[in-house]
Amino acid sequence: MEIIPVIDLKGGVVVRARMGQRDQYRPIETPLSSTSDPVDVVRGLLSVAAFRTLYVADLDAIERKGDARTALALVRSAFPQLDVWVDNGLADADAARAFLEQGTDHLVLGSEAQADTLLVESLRDDPRVVLSLDFRGDTFIGPPSLLATPAIWPRRVIVMTLARVGSAAGPDLERLAAIHKLSGGRRVYAAGGLRHARDLDELKNAGITGVLVASALHDGRLTQADINAL
């Protein structure tokens, strides 16, 4: 089970995500860091465990209100050992290829940003591309044909249940099981709702490859001992 810490960037700082209500996100307050500066927060997360991967949601870029490139560059410089997955709302083929040509980060294509399946299909064989299948409640956010055509998915797929992000409501095991069954052997990652180590066991038993997590780390509900036990 791979555990991937998450930071959500808005206005150059890390914000606390909750249930996908982005207009209500505020700078994070966490015992892992004295500030909401991205480098400080990532350093705090790495004090819990030697994570290999970091997921970054560039909310300014997703909302078309700027981007977090400066903050991302500082994080990369401070922690060159990390593989960084970036969701920045890209839906344009030229922009996506330009991002990948930089050769620094993995690109997360969020279904909520896609108007059709063309970009995902064109990049499905690129090992640096990750697809995020985004859900709000029972509703898939994105082109229905994207969800219905697993053959065009890349090798890594996130199941993002926005209403559970920061909620401590538990992973959406039923939906994860359904996507895993459809995935054709792809690596499926859970996002949203993780509460504690017992959830990790359930996800692992369900065949889920990894989980994106933030609140459980900041709140101390997922500890270094829990992670080491994996």
pLDDT tens figures, 73-131: 999 999 999 999 999 999 999 999 999 999 889 999 999 999 999 999 999 999 999 99
Among 226, 217, 214, CA closest to 166: 214
* Residue ranges covered by each domain of the chain: 2-229
pLDDT on residue 28: 95
Per-residue model confidence as pLDDT tens for the chain (230 residues): 999 999 999 999 999 877 656 666 789 999 999 999 999 999 999 999 999 999 999 999 999 999 999 999 999 999 999 999 999 999 999 999 999 999 889 999 999 999 999 999 999 999 999 999 999 888 999 999 999 999 999 999 999 998 777 667 889 999 999 999 999 999 999 998 899 999 999 999 999 999 999 999 999 999 999 998 87
The C-alpha atoms of residue 91 and residue 116 are separated, in whole angstroms, by 9
Indicate the helix (H) or strand (E) that contains 120.
Answer: helix 118-123
* Rounded alpha-carbon distances, angstroms, from residue 203 to 34, 68, 175: 32, 31, 12
pLDDT on residue 192: 86
**Residue 104 zone, left/alpha/beta (φ > 0; ψ -120 to 50; rest):** alpha
Domain 2-229 has CATH 3.20.20.70: yes
Q: How many CA atoms lie within 13 A of 200 on its CB side?
A: 19
The tokens 């409501």 sit on which residue? Answer: 169
The C-alpha atoms of residue 208 and residue 190 are separated, in whole angstroms, by 7
pLDDT on residue 120: 98
